[in-house]
Amino acid sequence: MKEKKDLETQGKRKGRLTLVLALATLISAFGSSFQYGYNVAVVNSPATFMKDFYNSTYHDRYGSHIDSSLLTLLWSLTVSMYPLGGFFGSLMVAPLVNRLGRKGTLLFNNIFSIVPAIMMGVSEVAKSYEIIIVARVLVGICAGLSSNVVPMYLGELSPKNLRGAIGIVPQLFITIGILTAQVFGIRSILGSVEGWPIMLALTGIPAVIELFLLPFFPESPRYMLIQKGDEKSARTALQRLRGFEDVDEELSEMHLEDQSERVEGRLSVLNLFTFRSMRWQLVSIIIMNMGQQLSGVNAIYYYADSIFGSAGVRQSDIQYVTVGTGTVNVFMTVAAVFIVEASGRKLLLLIGFAICCFSCVLLTVALNLQESVDWMPYVSIVCVIVYVIGHAIGPSPIPYVITTEMFRQSSRPAAFMVAGSVHWLSNFTVGLVFPFMERGLGEYSFIIFAFICLATLIYIWIIIPETKNKTFLEISKLFAKRNKVEIAVDSGDLDIKDMTVKESWKDEKATAF
């Protein structure tokens, strides 16, 4: 009877959100994820003043005003270098997290925030727009690393019953970063001719805070045990994170995962594309990240100002409506944090993509009828808000959570490298292609986004399993059935066999994707 009570107590303890876990989550998300969101939106409001700076700088150098096509090119570079930097940052994920650890990579990553913050802050004094463009590449690298490493780090710190909720916190801070940039961008705050350099430089403050505080918190216990072989440090970290001494059960699960992966070694990106046992996990993260970015979320924000203007919102008031949309985004992401463990990951993805699909279709109709029907512009505004709600509860936060959960320790860094590269390349593609789509297709551009949302929804419905409250090894077994491999876990060596042709794991390594 006493043993039964002890087991029950231990089970209850496992779900605790301890102070150490909460602070590690908040500091890493604020220090890293916040900057991703902040730098997405920071150049939107002061764009006019920054272009004037580019023009005046060019005039001071060459004695003539800048050509409009060259100004467009320079501004396009200013905006697009950020996602391109994000792509380069994603390519650095696997080597850095394997060498420096998860926490170590986040600390190292602050270089790519503090240095460009200083560069952007002094750009006006230095009379150089080139500094801003180079700084946008560097801060993009920061975002590319943080958008992948923070979910990985927090996913490995969290107990399985809190992994979904904590995994959404980075996305929450991304939305808070976007909202903060929108608020600072109000003309009466920093979105002015004097304030924009300060606004750009503020991105360095979260990095400085993280640099000073994060060293006091644990490295990922899974990294310490499975990759470094340091059980003592892993046990100490787990005890601090869980708030109790007896962490043997969780350590045993890590040992089991370590045993199951020892035959693989550390997997590279090439291995992911050649192992049959990783086939559907890899396809899934590619589809989800493409769906997330190609679903039209950036285009909706791009189109929002003109939609609000057509609805009769005064030009001077559009900035406040934009802040209101950002507030809705934050509020719905907070809601996702609280409902993800109850509803599950898959349901939120399905509902989110369904809402986005419906909103894109209705927005297409509304934009086509707004000249002939008086109240139709208000329907357009509602469509934008509903779309933001749908994206915030599923497509925005959940892919990061599922990427952490679908891969085990040896394959997770390479998986995030692939997912991050797809994410940022898709982001870059939308920014590059959408202006041409809008010019050629106009309002019908959103039908393409609706189709992408629908295709992603169907894939998730058919392929993606529910992963809530499951260990990483249990999730691997779910995918093993679809990959037609069998994962058998014994106390001895682990044997993985093809269910159809009974290949050995050694043979499996040579199996082409």
CATH code: domain of residue 104: 1.20.1250.20
Distance of alpha carbon 210 from its chain centroid, rounded? Answer: 19
* pLDDT for 510: 33
Q: How far apart are CA 123 and CA 127, in angstroms?
A: 6
Whether residues 293 and 420 share a domain: the answer is: yes
Report helix, strand or coil for 217. Answer: coil
Domain of residue 105 covers 18-217
Helices (H), 243-344: 248-261, 269-274, 279-294, 297-310, 318-343
Q: Which residues contact 8 (CB under 8 A, 6 or more apart)?
A: none
Same-domain check for residues 187 and 305: no
**Residue 388 included in any domain:** yes
Count of CB atoms situated within 10 Å of the CB of 430: 21
* Boundary residue ending a domain (217, 234, 258): 217
Bridge partners of residue 486, in order along the sequence: 497
**What pLDDT shows up at residue 58?**
92
Domain boundary among 217, 236, 259: 217
Q: Are residues 196 and 279 in the same domain?
A: no
Side-chain-side CA neighbours of residue 375 (13 Å): 0
Which residues have a Cβ under 8 Å from the Cβ of 326 and sit 6 or more positions away?
41, 175, 178, 179, 182, 183
Mapping DSSP to helix (H, G, I), strand (E, B) and coil, where does residue 498 land? strand
Instruction: Please indicate, yes or no, if residue 230 is contained in any of the structural domains.
Output: no
- The reply to whether 233 falls in a domain is no
100 domain-assigned: yes
What distance lies between CA 6 and its chain's CA centroid? Answer: 39
296 shares a domain with 204: no
- How large is the greatest C-alpha to C-alpha distance in the chain, in angstroms? 89
Low-confidence ranges of the chain (pLDDT < 70): 1-15, 260-267, 302-303, 306, 310-311, 486-513
Q: Give me the pLDDT at residue 356, please.
A: 95
**Is 251 within the bounds of a domain?**
no
| Spatial separation of the C-alpha atoms in residues 504 and 266, rounded to whole Å | 19
Residue the block writes with tokens 């419905």: 461
- Please give the pLDDT value at position 7: 42
Q: What is the pLDDT of residue 462?
A: 93
Long-range contacts, stretch 128-134, CB < 8 angstroms, 24+ apart: 128/57, 129/53, 129/54, 129/57, 129/58, 129/74, 129/78, 132/50, 132/78, 132/200, 133/74, 133/77, 133/78, 133/81
Residue 152 shares a structural domain with residue 285 = no
204 and 216 in contact (C-beta within 8 Å)? no
For residues 188 and 284, state if they share a domain. no
Res 395: pLDDT:
92
Are 205 and 65 found together in one domain? yes
Mapping DSSP to helix (H, G, I), strand (E, B) and coil, where does residue 496 land? strand
Task: Give the global pTM.
Answer: 0.85
Q: What is the pairing mode between strands 495-498 and 485-488?
A: antiparallel
In a domain, 231, yes or no: no
Whether 212 and 353 share a structural domain: no
Rg of the chain over all Cα atoms, to the nearest angstrom = 24
Kindly state whether residues 304 and 193 are assigned to the same domain: no
Mark whether 97 and 179 lie in a shared domain: yes
- The tokens describing 222, both together, are 């899974």
- Predicted pLDDT of residue 353: 96
Tell me the C-alpha distance between 329 and 337, whole Å.
13
Instruction: Let me know if residue 11 belongs to a domain.
Output: no
The neighbouring-strand residues paired with 498 are 485
3-state secondary structure of 245: coil
- Do 204 and 343 belong to one domain? no
- Residue 104 in domain: yes
182 and 305 housed in the same domain: no
Q: Please give the pLDDT value at position 267.
A: 67
Note the pLDDT of residue 127: 92
Residue where one domain finishes, among candidates 217, 233, 250: 217
Residue 416 CA: distances (Å) to CA of 93, 260, 272, 297, 304: 7, 20, 11, 21, 31
What is the predicted pLDDT for the residue at 477? Answer: 81
Domain count of the fold of the chain? 2
What is the predicted pLDDT for the residue at 307?
Answer: 73
Q: Report pLDDT for 511.
A: 34
